[in-house]
Amino acid sequence: MSTLRFLRAFDAIARYGSFALAAEHLSLTQSAISMQMRSLEETFGQQLFDRAGRTVVLNAMGKALLPHAQEMLAQYEAMRMLAAGLEAQTGPVTIGAVESAVSALAQAVAKLKTARPSLEIRIVTARSIELAAQLDAGDVDCAVLVDTPGRRSARVRWTPLYTEPVVALVPAGVKSGSVAQLLNDERFLRFDSTQRTGILIERALRRRRYKVNVFLELSSLEGVAALVRQGVGVTVVPLLRNSSWAHDEALRVLPLPGETEFRSVGMLERAEHEKKHITALIAQQLVAAV
């Protein structure tokens, strides 16, 4: 059981970015957390963090091992749920999700429902900022949404699920040229600039000093891609994990020059709640689905 405690500490440090916050979340002392991480690193024979003062960041090895640690923790929670008979006692589970994550989430929920038919699960969609408010109000048990920079309250738990690179989408029949030329010459279809994803896209355009001719703004990533497919214009969007865009004969997916920006999608939930065993399983299945 010591290994599970170490993995929980490892996961908490990755979530909160410091030993102190991880210790606060797990109700442990900072020295206890430090000791557990030394033991874990000795077990693997590898350093897992880059340390700079009070801040710690996962290094390449830590990033590689984190998903496996989270999977082991989710499996353990599933065992606890089955042993305790919590399936019948948990009651309905309401999951909030941004629209672009619903397809993958539905696959994950369907797989979980096949194994556990008695579970009642409901999926609702909204924007990331609205989902965070619904979680705070208790209207949803967890939310699959786009990550936002900044420190989170110790009252919530963030589980990273997957990332998506920001790319350019152009119709297959459009003339060849650099990404900068295509975005400058063609009509630009913009994703909602008030949403977190839209802000990320605008930042990517500004960093490259791209000038675009906005023709239309939409609040659906799939809707934007559909218009590009029809030849209406070009766009810059995250390459959705569950999309077929890269294999669509009507589309060309072009990487943006320079360092790639990524959209991070994860699960937000209260740090402690009675349905966390179910939400851990859903997170596990969602990672597997994408």
Contact in structure between 9 and 36 (CB atoms under 8 Å): yes
Task: Note whether residue 182 is domain-resident.
Answer: yes
In a domain, 201, yes or no: yes
More confident site: 116 or 224: 224
Residue position matching structure tokens 């865009």 = 245
Mean pLDDT, range 124-137, rounded to an integer: 92
Query: Cα(96)–Cα(141) distance, rounded to whole angstroms?
Result: 8
Q: Which of 33, 62, 84 is the last residue of a domain?
A: 84
Cα-to-chain-centroid distance, residue 139: 20
Residue 272: pLDDT over 90: no
pLDDT confidence of residue 251: 94
Comparing 277 with 195, the larger pLDDT belongs to 195
> 219: which 2 tokens?
């609040």
Check which CATH number belongs to the domain holding 20 and give it: 1.10.10.10
How many CB atoms lie under 10 A from the CB of residue 10? 25
Neighbour count for residue 132 (Cβ, 10 Å): 18
Residue 168 pLDDT: 96
The number of domains in the chain is 2
| 268 belongs to a structural domain | no
Q: Which residues contact 78 (CB under 8 A, 6 or more apart)?
A: 277, 280, 281, 284
Beta bridge partners of 124: 96
- With respect to residue 96, please indicate whether it lies within any of the assigned structural domains: no
Length of the chain as a residue count: 290
CATH classification of the domain holding 217: 3.40.190.10
Q: Hey, what are 146's tokens?
A: 């786009």
pLDDT of residue 208: 94
**Chain-centre distance for alpha carbon 67:** 12
What is the residue whose two structure tokens read 């740090």?
271
- 190: domain range? 164-263
Asked whether residue 54 carries a pLDDT value surpassing 70, the answer given is no
Residue from 86, 149, 74 nearest 118 by CA: 86
Residues of 258-290 as b/e, b for ≥16 C-beta within 10 angstroms?
A: eeebebbbbbbbbbeeebbbbbbbbbbbbbebb
Q: How far apart are the first and last CA of the chain?
A: 30
Mean pLDDT over the full length of the chain: 87
- Final residue in a domain of this structure, among 34, 67, 84: 84
Cβ–Cβ < 8 Å for 121, 141? no
Least confidently predicted of 67-76, 138-147, 206-215, 277-286: 67-76
Residue 222 near residue 100 (C-beta atoms within 8 A): yes
The answer to whether residue 134 sits within a structural domain is no
Between residues 129 and 1, the one the model is more confident about: 129
Q: Is residue 54 part of a domain?
A: yes
Backbone angles phi, psi at 274, to 5 degrees: -70, -15
Contact 144, 265 (CB under 8 A): yes
Q: Is residue 207 part of a domain?
A: yes
The predicted structure's pLDDT at residue 273? 86
Residue 58 pLDDT grade (very low, low, confident, very high; cuts 50, 70, 90): confident
Q: Average pLDDT in the 149-175 region?
A: 88
Q: Is residue 105 part of a domain?
A: no
Residues 57-72 have a mean pLDDT of 86
Tokens coding 207: 């960093």
Whether residue 171 has pLDDT greater than 60: yes
Instruction: Name the band, by pLDDT with cuts 50, 70 and 90, for residue 114.
Output: confident
* Single residue among 84, 119, 152 that ends a domain in this structure: 84
List the single range of 95-104, 233-242, 281-290 with lowest mean pLDDT.
281-290
Whether the CB-CB separation of 179 and 254 falls below 8 Å is answered with: yes
Amino acid letter, 185: D
Q: What pLDDT shows up at residue 165?
A: 94
**Residue percentage of the chain with pLDDT more than 90:** 43
